[in-house]
Chains A and B, each alone.
Chain A
Amino acid sequence: MTNTMNSPETEVAVSISVDGQAVSVPEGSTILDACTAAGIDTPTICYGPNLTPVNACRVCVVELEGSRTLVPSCSREVEPDMVVQTDSDRVKHSRKMVLEFLGSGVDLSQADDLNAWSEHYGADPNRYGPDAETMNEPVKIEDDLYIRDYDKCVLCYKCVSACGDDAQHTFAISMTGRGFGARIATEFDGVLPDSACVYCGNCVAVCPTNALQFKTEFDLRQAANWRPEDQSVTTTICSYCGVGCNLELHTQDERIVKVTSPDDHSVTWGNLCIKGRFGWQYVHGDSDGD
């Protein structure tokens, strides 16, 4: 894992220029880290601080002096005296096109971050017309823990990485098909309970568009009662074993509605198991378990 958040003990600083501003970051950091250090916000989709970069989405590209093409800031490591532009016309145009193309064929209605960036760059996914619209696949609901909504999938690979060798090593899902037929699938595209899935929910945790969604959130949204503005998040420790995983309890109306884990904590790096992720329901006396 390329873990830029867990900086090595022997830090050598590297200085680069970002938008004319001198920034110094530890050796091994990425351009994205340098942008963050310089206080510059960067759009990302396929990047996760706890995942190895796969360079799939290209939305984080920046202009690097001396480089023929734009470079993905999430994976490109800093080198001394790099000169980087994050807000040039070329960068803005490229980011806008990525967001527009994705939005033209995918339902981004629950991807709040991406929508904010689309607005920022003036991206208008609708200009490609109805022919580019989503496939209108029914939502896959196969159990009480999480759902799969393929209309919302941008094929960013994050779920595959989290299920695979970046964290869980379960390898229950992978990319299948080509071109427009490409999609994330279980083995032989079977239902989840028959797959290798162990329901850790680490794929759901990294999904940037809510294509993978906890069932509790899905149900509340269906009932028009998912109210992020009324939710608070409390960090505590899971009780199901002695590892000490940090849980972020998302609560609404004094009830837990979702559980995540901080992706910058040295115990979990954002990951949980089925018990920590889903085993909270007894707190509210719900005992429909058997």
Chain B
Amino acid sequence: MFGAGGGTSSYKEIEETNLIVLWGSNARNAHPIFFHHLLKGIDNGAKMYAVDPRRTSSAKFADTWLGLNLGSDVALANGIGREIIAAGLVNEAFVAHSSQGFDEYKESVEKYTLEYTSQLTGLPPEAIQELAHDYATAETAQILWTLGITEHHNAVDNVLALCNLALLTGHIGKWGSGLVPLRGQNNVQGGGDMGALPNKLPGFQNVNDDAARGKFEAKYGVQLNPEPGLHLTLMFEAMERGEIKAAYVLGENPADSEADILHARKLLEGLDLLVVQDIFMTRTAELADVVLPASVAWAESDGTATSSERRVQRIRAAVPPPGEARHDIDILFDLAKRMGHDWGTPDPEQLWDELRDLSPMHQGMSWERLEQTGGLQWPCPSLDHPGSPFLHGWLYEDDLGGRDPAPFSPVVAQGPKEELTDEFPLRLTTGRALDSYNTGVQSGGFNSPIRYGDALDMHPADAERLGLADGDQALVSSPRGSVEMRIRIDSSLVEGLTFTTFHFPDLVDANVLTSDAWDKKSGTAEFKAASIRVEPLVAARG
């Protein structure tokens, strides 16, 4: 919407903001040190709303928790937008100067009255109204989210609905206000920055932009395909159609992490060639024809990682890789050589300088400056540029920095793809535990005293109705498959909603259950909303 894929704000800003809206994020568990900054904000007087179907450990710090129906995020955002307009609280100067498409947006949210939004979200109208008024009237306000927004079949719509609110109120492009997606992995931001997206070159330059692509073609002396490639979900669909016959997987474990996992495994098994470069013998590696043992990036090699506040920081080797494991770039250089391209001797700093030549937003970040400053925030276009604490300040410039006004993007509320039925009457959503990480291959290495394993968390009333007690084993089924799970009673859930982590696929294959519905715009699967049935396993009792 604003032309760059990164969180708009610095961590320091949330310490000084007036209003915090944490939406679909359990940062207390998933981003604990960011949450320290957020807590400083609360200590400094900020008001906090938590919008989440679950009353998470983050939500417990909020002034108000809005426990909306799973997947009703667009409805809530549109309802907030409509209320801001109806109450005359739009930042009219900002909308007139910096945005376009307001009238269409206004029309699109007209039907989301407080009553209708309340119906869709299950929230009291007063709570929606209070959030709308607080957000519109705060001097500075941030909306922050994670996968509770983006792991839905309408993920991009969810994000756009939140962006619309920032445009209505001007809570973007100034210190303390912003839109902040918190990144789940240490370099998921950096991966996107480096062009590991099907439609982007490094520095968010479009592959179909002739001038940008031409720069890369001139540098490397080859023609590049101007057509965007496939994202992960489309790759699996292409495998199904037999159009992709080989895959080279680096540091990813899709045979455990994909939604509707049984289907994904079958597709990986059906490939002519599967190469896996990893530090573990993961389930994906077990399926591979060739396994290339790699080193631990953050502890055994030199390079950079880019954080959720767009801060590029150095990673450094502290220990050598074990046995025959090698650095990722060494493996890639050798592969290139086998294919007839001698790239010389790999050197992280040289590679970084090569990137700086091609990506204007990284130009000013010399290795030396990264060492001296403790990290720089992009864009940093020249050596004398201090880096950018927040993005989109141009929205407040007289000439908008020569750009077009930012567009409103009307979006329509849709619930989760998979509807509740008599056969599958309970909602299942997923998330992270504090002490574990993704499919557990890393976090499984230490003995955490607070680890309880993957259980199905359930409201006491649901458990009682099903005749289940805390610790009972149950058979949990979705339209895709069944797994046995331990039941954990959790009164912080609402009735009808169940929750599980997905950190122990060897014990509980939770992604057997998750929905393979995915967002056509982002390629993200709807891990956050499946429909399930739970049946007691009598044999396991007593």
Contacts and interface: CB of A to CB of B under 8 A. Distances in A.
Contact of B314 (A168, A169, A236, A287): A236
Interface in B478-520: none
Contacts, number: 178
Contacts of A197: 449-450
B183 A234 contact: no
Interface residues of B, number: 57
Given A242-B188, A242-B307, A287-B445, A279 B40 contact: no
Given A243-B308, A267-B311, A144 B34 contact: no
Given A237-B305, A244-B375, A273 B434 contact: yes
A289 B186 contact: no
Contacts of A266: 11-12, 374
A235 B316 contact: yes
Interface in A218-247: 232, 234-247
Given A192-B449, A254-B319, A282-B444, A240 B437 contact: yes
A244 B448 CA distance: 22
A242 B184 contact: yes
Interface residues of chain B: helix, strand, loop or mixed (majority) = loop
B33 A243 contact: yes
Contact of A1 (B40, B184, B434): B40
Which residue, of B182, B298, B318, B441, has the highest number of chain A Cβ atoms within 10 A? B318
Contacts of A24: none
Contacts of B296: 283
Contact of A244 (B30, B307, B318, B319): B307
Interface in A245-290: 245-247, 249, 251, 254-256, 265-269, 271-276, 278-290
A145 interface: yes
A241 B43 CA distance: 24
A45 interface: no
10 A-B pairs closest in CB distance: A242-B183, A244-B307, A282-B445, A273-B32, A234-B318, A249-B318, A143-B449, A193-B449, A281-B445, A144-B447
9 contacts: A165-B43, A242-B184, A242-B185, A249-B318, A254-B319, A267-B375, A283-B296, A287-B445, A289-B447
Nearest to A262: B374
Contacts of A275: 434-437, 443
A52 to B, nearest CB: 11
A199 interface: yes
A8 to B, nearest CB: 12
Interface string B335-358: 000000000000000000000000
B140 interface: no
Contact of B374 (A241, A246, A247, A279): A246
Contacts of A290: 444
Given A237-B305, A239-B297, A265 B449 contact: no
B449 A145 contact: yes
Given A265-B374, A271-B33, A241 B183 contact: yes
Interface residues of A, number: 59
Contacts of B328: none
Given A274-B435, A279-B442, A239 B186 contact: yes
A251 B316 CA distance: 13
Nearest to A273: B32
A281 B448 CA distance: 12
B164 interface: no
B89 interface: no
A169 B39 contact: yes
Given A236-B318, A244-B305, A266-B374, A193 B12 contact: no
A242 B450 contact: no
B220 interface: no
B458 to A, nearest CB: 23
Given A1-B40, A249-B299, A273-B33, A242 B189 contact: yes
Nearest to B302: A236
B185 A239 contact: yes
A167 interface: yes
A167 B30 contact: no
Contacts of B5: none
Contacts of A283: 296, 299-300, 319, 445
A251 B447 contact: no
Nearest to A242: B183
A61 interface: no
Nearest to A290: B444
A198 interface: yes
Given A234-B318, A235-B316, A236-B298, A278 B308 contact: no
B434 A274 contact: yes
A200 interface: yes
Contacts of B441: 282
Contacts of B320: 254
